[in-house]
Amino acid sequence: MPRLPEIKQFLSSGGIRIYRIPCKVLAELTGRVYLVLEAGPPTLVDTGSGQGDSTKNILDGFETVRRDFGESIRIEDVQRILITHAHPDHCGGLPDLLQRARAEVAIHPLDSRSITANAECVALVRHGIGRLLDQIGVPGTLGEDLLRRHWQLPEAFPAIDVNTELLERNAFDGFRVLHTPGHSPGHVCLLADDLLLCGDHVLSRTIPQLWPESLRPYKGLAHYLESLQTVRAVRGIRMALPGHETVIDDVYKRIDDIDRSERRRIQYVVDVLDQADRPLTIWEISRTIYQQTAGFYASLALMDTAARVEYLHQRGRLRLANLEQIESDPRAAWQYQTK
Protein backbone atom coordinates (compact mmCIF):
# COMPACT_ATOMS: atom_id res chain seq x y z
CA MET A 1 0.00 0.00 0.00
CA PRO A 2 1.44 3.43 -0.90
CA ARG A 3 2.53 5.53 2.05
CA LEU A 4 0.25 8.28 3.25
CA PRO A 5 1.40 11.89 2.77
CA GLU A 6 3.26 13.34 5.74
CA ILE A 7 1.67 15.17 8.64
CA LYS A 8 2.15 18.89 8.20
CA GLN A 9 1.72 21.94 10.38
CA PHE A 10 0.23 25.17 9.02
CA LEU A 11 0.37 28.40 10.99
CA SER A 12 -2.27 31.07 10.42
CA SER A 13 -1.55 34.81 10.47
CA GLY A 14 -3.19 34.99 13.92
CA GLY A 15 -1.25 32.06 15.41
CA ILE A 16 -3.78 29.24 14.90
CA ARG A 17 -1.95 25.93 14.49
CA ILE A 18 -3.47 23.48 12.02
CA TYR A 19 -2.20 19.93 11.57
CA ARG A 20 -3.04 18.02 8.41
CA ILE A 21 -3.54 14.34 9.21
CA PRO A 22 -3.94 12.08 6.13
CA CYS A 23 -6.00 8.90 6.35
CA LYS A 24 -7.03 6.16 3.96
CA VAL A 25 -10.79 6.68 3.56
CA LEU A 26 -11.63 4.24 0.78
CA ALA A 27 -9.65 1.61 -1.12
CA GLU A 28 -8.55 4.14 -3.73
CA LEU A 29 -9.02 7.39 -1.88
CA THR A 30 -6.94 9.23 0.71
CA GLY A 31 -8.56 11.92 2.84
CA ARG A 32 -7.28 14.56 5.23
CA VAL A 33 -8.63 15.57 8.60
CA TYR A 34 -7.36 18.71 10.29
CA LEU A 35 -6.56 19.19 13.94
CA VAL A 36 -6.95 22.87 14.81
CA LEU A 37 -5.40 24.36 17.95
CA GLU A 38 -5.80 27.88 19.35
CA ALA A 39 -9.04 28.60 17.45
CA GLY A 40 -11.23 28.09 20.50
CA PRO A 41 -11.15 24.62 22.09
CA PRO A 42 -9.13 21.82 20.43
CA THR A 43 -11.04 21.06 17.24
CA LEU A 44 -11.04 18.34 14.63
CA VAL A 45 -12.33 19.17 11.14
CA ASP A 46 -13.75 16.01 9.53
CA THR A 47 -13.29 12.46 10.74
CA GLY A 48 -12.27 10.16 7.88
CA SER A 49 -14.51 7.27 6.85
CA GLY A 50 -14.29 4.95 9.86
CA GLN A 51 -13.53 2.18 7.30
CA GLY A 52 -10.36 0.09 7.09
CA ASP A 53 -7.39 1.91 8.62
CA SER A 54 -8.99 5.36 8.52
CA THR A 55 -9.46 5.81 12.29
CA LYS A 56 -6.13 4.15 13.06
CA ASN A 57 -4.39 6.59 10.67
CA ILE A 58 -5.96 9.51 12.56
CA LEU A 59 -4.97 8.16 15.98
CA ASP A 60 -1.42 7.50 14.72
CA GLY A 61 -1.46 11.05 13.39
CA PHE A 62 -2.15 12.44 16.88
CA GLU A 63 0.84 10.50 18.12
CA THR A 64 3.04 12.02 15.40
CA VAL A 65 1.75 15.51 16.26
CA ARG A 66 2.77 14.91 19.88
CA ARG A 67 6.14 13.38 19.04
CA ASP A 68 7.31 15.52 16.11
CA PHE A 69 5.68 18.85 16.93
CA GLY A 70 5.81 18.84 20.72
CA GLU A 71 2.04 19.23 21.21
CA SER A 72 0.49 17.62 24.29
CA ILE A 73 -2.84 16.97 22.51
CA ARG A 74 -4.57 13.58 22.71
CA ILE A 75 -7.75 12.50 20.93
CA GLU A 76 -9.51 12.61 24.34
CA ASP A 77 -8.74 16.36 24.49
CA VAL A 78 -10.70 17.20 21.33
CA GLN A 79 -13.76 19.18 22.40
CA ARG A 80 -15.28 20.01 19.05
CA ILE A 81 -15.72 18.14 15.75
CA LEU A 82 -16.72 20.23 12.74
CA ILE A 83 -17.91 18.42 9.63
CA THR A 84 -17.39 20.15 6.27
CA HIS A 85 -20.09 17.96 4.70
CA ALA A 86 -21.83 14.67 5.40
CA HIS A 87 -20.22 12.40 2.83
CA PRO A 88 -19.09 9.07 4.29
CA ASP A 89 -15.39 9.81 3.70
CA HIS A 90 -15.71 12.93 5.90
CA CYS A 91 -18.16 11.96 8.64
CA GLY A 92 -17.98 8.14 8.70
CA GLY A 93 -15.34 8.20 11.45
CA LEU A 94 -17.61 10.07 13.86
CA PRO A 95 -18.85 7.01 15.82
CA ASP A 96 -15.27 5.77 16.37
CA LEU A 97 -13.92 9.16 17.41
CA LEU A 98 -16.84 10.00 19.69
CA GLN A 99 -16.10 6.84 21.64
CA ARG A 100 -12.74 8.39 22.49
CA ALA A 101 -13.53 12.10 22.72
CA ARG A 102 -16.53 13.74 24.42
CA ALA A 103 -16.72 16.36 21.69
CA GLU A 104 -19.59 18.50 20.50
CA VAL A 105 -20.52 17.88 16.85
CA ALA A 106 -21.28 20.73 14.46
CA ILE A 107 -22.52 20.54 10.88
CA HIS A 108 -24.65 22.66 8.57
CA PRO A 109 -28.40 21.88 9.02
CA LEU A 110 -28.81 20.90 5.34
CA ASP A 111 -26.41 17.99 5.92
CA SER A 112 -27.21 17.17 9.51
CA ARG A 113 -29.88 14.52 8.84
CA SER A 114 -27.21 12.38 7.20
CA ILE A 115 -25.79 12.11 10.71
CA THR A 116 -28.87 12.20 12.89
CA ALA A 117 -30.89 9.89 10.60
CA ASN A 118 -28.35 8.27 8.29
CA ALA A 119 -30.42 5.19 7.41
CA GLU A 120 -33.33 7.37 6.27
CA CYS A 121 -31.07 9.57 4.13
CA VAL A 122 -29.36 6.61 2.47
CA ALA A 123 -32.76 5.04 1.66
CA LEU A 124 -34.12 8.30 0.20
CA VAL A 125 -31.06 8.95 -1.95
CA ARG A 126 -31.11 5.34 -3.20
CA HIS A 127 -34.77 5.80 -4.09
CA GLY A 128 -34.01 9.13 -5.77
CA ILE A 129 -31.14 7.69 -7.81
CA GLY A 130 -33.34 4.75 -8.87
CA ARG A 131 -35.91 7.22 -10.24
CA LEU A 132 -33.20 9.34 -11.82
CA LEU A 133 -31.74 6.31 -13.65
CA ASP A 134 -35.13 5.81 -15.37
CA GLN A 135 -35.18 9.46 -16.38
CA ILE A 136 -31.55 9.25 -17.56
CA GLY A 137 -32.40 6.29 -19.80
CA VAL A 138 -29.96 3.71 -18.50
CA PRO A 139 -30.71 0.57 -20.55
CA GLY A 140 -31.88 -2.77 -19.12
CA THR A 141 -30.36 -4.13 -15.94
CA LEU A 142 -27.37 -1.82 -16.19
CA GLY A 143 -29.25 0.62 -13.94
CA GLU A 144 -29.24 -1.91 -11.10
CA ASP A 145 -25.53 -2.47 -11.57
CA LEU A 146 -24.76 1.26 -11.59
CA LEU A 147 -26.92 1.80 -8.54
CA ARG A 148 -25.01 -0.90 -6.68
CA ARG A 149 -21.66 0.52 -7.72
CA HIS A 150 -22.71 4.03 -6.80
CA TRP A 151 -23.51 2.80 -3.31
CA GLN A 152 -20.49 0.65 -2.66
CA LEU A 153 -19.76 3.19 0.05
CA PRO A 154 -20.43 2.30 3.69
CA GLU A 155 -23.98 2.76 4.82
CA ALA A 156 -24.56 1.54 8.38
CA PHE A 157 -24.17 4.57 10.61
CA PRO A 158 -25.73 4.91 14.06
CA ALA A 159 -27.77 8.04 14.80
CA ILE A 160 -25.56 10.76 16.27
CA ASP A 161 -26.71 13.95 17.98
CA VAL A 162 -25.69 17.22 16.39
CA ASN A 163 -25.01 19.88 19.03
CA THR A 164 -24.41 22.97 16.93
CA GLU A 165 -25.53 24.25 13.55
CA LEU A 166 -22.67 25.47 11.38
CA LEU A 167 -24.36 28.56 9.98
CA GLU A 168 -22.77 31.65 8.47
CA ARG A 169 -24.58 33.90 10.91
CA ASN A 170 -23.45 31.93 13.96
CA ALA A 171 -20.33 33.22 15.63
CA PHE A 172 -17.94 30.31 15.86
CA ASP A 173 -14.89 31.24 17.81
CA GLY A 174 -11.76 30.98 15.70
CA PHE A 175 -13.61 30.30 12.44
CA ARG A 176 -15.70 32.07 9.86
CA VAL A 177 -18.26 29.74 8.27
CA LEU A 178 -18.98 29.95 4.53
CA HIS A 179 -21.95 27.96 3.25
CA THR A 180 -20.83 26.48 -0.08
CA PRO A 181 -23.60 24.15 -1.36
CA GLY A 182 -23.31 22.19 -4.62
CA HIS A 183 -21.11 19.16 -3.98
CA SER A 184 -23.29 18.59 -0.92
CA PRO A 185 -26.32 20.67 0.24
CA GLY A 186 -24.79 21.64 3.58
CA HIS A 187 -21.16 21.89 2.53
CA VAL A 188 -19.22 24.54 4.43
CA CYS A 189 -15.74 25.99 4.14
CA LEU A 190 -14.11 27.19 7.35
CA LEU A 191 -11.84 30.20 7.41
CA ALA A 192 -9.28 30.32 10.19
CA ASP A 193 -7.54 33.71 9.80
CA ASP A 194 -5.89 33.42 6.36
CA LEU A 195 -6.20 29.62 6.03
CA LEU A 196 -9.26 28.06 4.42
CA LEU A 197 -10.38 24.54 5.29
CA CYS A 198 -12.32 23.81 2.13
CA GLY A 199 -13.47 20.16 2.35
CA ASP A 200 -14.34 18.92 -1.14
CA HIS A 201 -15.46 22.31 -2.47
CA VAL A 202 -12.13 23.20 -4.07
CA LEU A 203 -9.62 20.45 -4.79
CA SER A 204 -6.12 20.97 -6.14
CA ARG A 205 -6.24 18.57 -9.10
CA THR A 206 -9.78 17.36 -9.78
CA ILE A 207 -13.19 18.97 -10.11
CA PRO A 208 -15.48 17.81 -7.28
CA GLN A 209 -18.20 15.29 -8.06
CA LEU A 210 -21.64 16.78 -8.73
CA TRP A 211 -25.16 15.36 -8.87
CA PRO A 212 -28.32 17.03 -10.24
CA GLU A 213 -30.33 19.11 -7.81
CA SER A 214 -33.44 17.03 -8.64
CA LEU A 215 -31.86 14.42 -6.36
CA ARG A 216 -31.72 16.74 -3.36
CA PRO A 217 -32.20 20.51 -2.96
CA TYR A 218 -28.96 22.55 -2.84
CA LYS A 219 -26.96 19.95 -4.74
CA GLY A 220 -26.16 20.65 -8.37
CA LEU A 221 -24.12 22.72 -10.73
CA ALA A 222 -25.82 26.10 -10.31
CA HIS A 223 -25.21 26.07 -6.54
CA TYR A 224 -21.69 24.80 -7.06
CA LEU A 225 -20.69 27.57 -9.47
CA GLU A 226 -22.24 30.18 -7.19
CA SER A 227 -20.41 28.73 -4.19
CA LEU A 228 -17.09 28.99 -6.05
CA GLN A 229 -17.73 32.72 -6.25
CA THR A 230 -18.63 32.81 -2.52
CA VAL A 231 -15.07 31.74 -1.76
CA ARG A 232 -13.62 33.84 -4.61
CA ALA A 233 -15.08 36.96 -2.96
CA VAL A 234 -13.32 36.38 0.38
CA ARG A 235 -10.15 38.42 0.49
CA GLY A 236 -6.85 37.42 1.98
CA ILE A 237 -6.91 33.60 1.76
CA ARG A 238 -3.22 32.69 1.79
CA MET A 239 -3.69 28.96 1.45
CA ALA A 240 -6.53 26.45 1.12
CA LEU A 241 -6.44 23.06 2.84
CA PRO A 242 -8.74 20.58 1.08
CA GLY A 243 -10.18 17.23 2.24
CA HIS A 244 -8.23 15.37 -0.49
CA GLU A 245 -5.25 15.98 -2.74
CA THR A 246 -2.64 18.66 -2.07
CA VAL A 247 -2.56 22.10 -0.46
CA ILE A 248 -3.75 24.93 -2.73
CA ASP A 249 -1.39 27.92 -2.68
CA ASP A 250 -3.47 30.18 -4.90
CA VAL A 251 -7.13 29.35 -4.28
CA TYR A 252 -8.33 32.27 -6.43
CA LYS A 253 -6.49 30.96 -9.50
CA ARG A 254 -7.67 27.41 -8.77
CA ILE A 255 -11.29 28.61 -8.57
CA ASP A 256 -10.93 30.42 -11.90
CA ASP A 257 -9.45 27.25 -13.45
CA ILE A 258 -12.28 25.05 -12.12
CA ASP A 259 -14.92 27.57 -13.23
CA ARG A 260 -13.43 27.67 -16.74
CA SER A 261 -13.20 23.86 -17.00
CA GLU A 262 -16.73 23.44 -15.72
CA ARG A 263 -18.09 25.89 -18.31
CA ARG A 264 -16.16 24.07 -21.04
CA ARG A 265 -17.75 20.81 -19.90
CA ILE A 266 -21.20 22.42 -19.97
CA GLN A 267 -20.58 23.63 -23.53
CA TYR A 268 -19.44 20.15 -24.50
CA VAL A 269 -22.92 18.79 -23.71
CA VAL A 270 -24.39 21.41 -26.07
CA ASP A 271 -21.87 20.46 -28.76
CA VAL A 272 -22.72 16.75 -28.46
CA LEU A 273 -26.43 17.51 -28.88
CA ASP A 274 -25.80 19.93 -31.75
CA GLN A 275 -23.86 17.27 -33.61
CA ALA A 276 -26.40 14.48 -33.00
CA ASP A 277 -28.96 13.70 -35.69
CA ARG A 278 -31.70 13.01 -33.13
CA PRO A 279 -32.58 13.91 -29.52
CA LEU A 280 -30.43 12.13 -26.91
CA THR A 281 -30.96 10.82 -23.39
CA ILE A 282 -28.53 11.74 -20.59
CA TRP A 283 -27.21 8.18 -20.80
CA GLU A 284 -26.40 8.64 -24.50
CA ILE A 285 -24.80 12.04 -23.91
CA SER A 286 -22.66 10.63 -21.10
CA ARG A 287 -21.56 7.60 -23.16
CA THR A 288 -20.55 9.94 -25.99
CA ILE A 289 -18.45 12.09 -23.67
CA TYR A 290 -17.03 9.36 -21.43
CA GLN A 291 -16.47 6.48 -23.87
CA GLN A 292 -13.52 5.08 -21.94
CA THR A 293 -14.98 5.30 -18.43
CA ALA A 294 -16.26 2.11 -16.80
CA GLY A 295 -17.59 0.73 -13.50
CA PHE A 296 -17.90 3.02 -10.48
CA TYR A 297 -16.41 5.96 -12.38
CA ALA A 298 -18.98 5.57 -15.17
CA SER A 299 -21.74 5.99 -12.58
CA LEU A 300 -20.06 9.17 -11.26
CA ALA A 301 -19.60 10.49 -14.81
CA LEU A 302 -23.28 9.84 -15.45
CA MET A 303 -24.29 11.92 -12.41
CA ASP A 304 -21.94 14.71 -13.49
CA THR A 305 -23.50 14.72 -16.97
CA ALA A 306 -26.99 14.73 -15.44
CA ALA A 307 -26.01 17.80 -13.37
CA ARG A 308 -24.84 19.64 -16.51
CA VAL A 309 -27.92 18.71 -18.54
CA GLU A 310 -30.16 19.89 -15.67
CA TYR A 311 -28.25 23.19 -15.53
CA LEU A 312 -28.65 23.77 -19.29
CA HIS A 313 -32.30 22.73 -19.27
CA GLN A 314 -33.10 25.07 -16.35
CA ARG A 315 -31.58 27.92 -18.35
CA GLY A 316 -33.60 27.19 -21.49
CA ARG A 317 -30.62 26.06 -23.55
CA LEU A 318 -32.03 22.54 -23.95
CA ARG A 319 -35.57 21.38 -24.44
CA LEU A 320 -37.36 18.07 -24.05
CA ALA A 321 -38.19 16.26 -27.27
CA ASN A 322 -40.61 13.59 -25.97
CA LEU A 323 -42.97 15.43 -23.65
CA GLU A 324 -46.02 13.32 -24.58
CA GLN A 325 -44.19 10.11 -23.78
CA ILE A 326 -42.99 11.53 -20.44
CA GLU A 327 -46.55 12.57 -19.57
CA SER A 328 -47.96 9.13 -20.30
CA ASP A 329 -45.14 7.02 -18.83
CA PRO A 330 -43.55 8.05 -15.51
CA ARG A 331 -40.59 5.75 -16.21
CA ALA A 332 -39.86 7.12 -19.69
CA ALA A 333 -36.31 8.29 -20.42
CA TRP A 334 -36.10 12.03 -21.07
CA GLN A 335 -34.74 13.01 -24.48
CA TYR A 336 -33.05 16.35 -24.99
CA GLN A 337 -32.30 18.57 -27.95
CA THR A 338 -30.84 22.03 -28.38
CA LYS A 339 -33.28 23.46 -30.91
Q: Which residues bind Zn ion (CB under 5 A)?
A: 87, 89, 200, 243
Residue 37 or 240: the one with the smaller Cβ distance to Zn ion is 240
Residue 83 or 138: the one with the smaller Cβ distance to Zn ion is 83
- Which region, left, alpha or beta, applies to residue 140 given φ > 0 means left and ψ of -120 to 50 means alpha? left
Residue 153 or 167: the one with the smaller Cβ distance to Zn ion is 153
| Least distance between Zn ion and beta carbon 90 (Å) | 5
Residue 111 or 200: the one with the smaller Cβ distance to Zn ion is 200
| Least distance between Zn ion and beta carbon 74 (Å) | 26
| Least distance between Zn ion and beta carbon 88 (Å) | 9
| Least distance between Zn ion and beta carbon 239 (Å) | 19
Residue 200 or 304: the one with the smaller Cβ distance to Zn ion is 200
| Least distance between Zn ion and beta carbon 200 (Å) | 4
| Least distance between Zn ion and beta carbon 60 (Å) | 20
Residue 87 or 108: the one with the smaller Cβ distance to Zn ion is 87
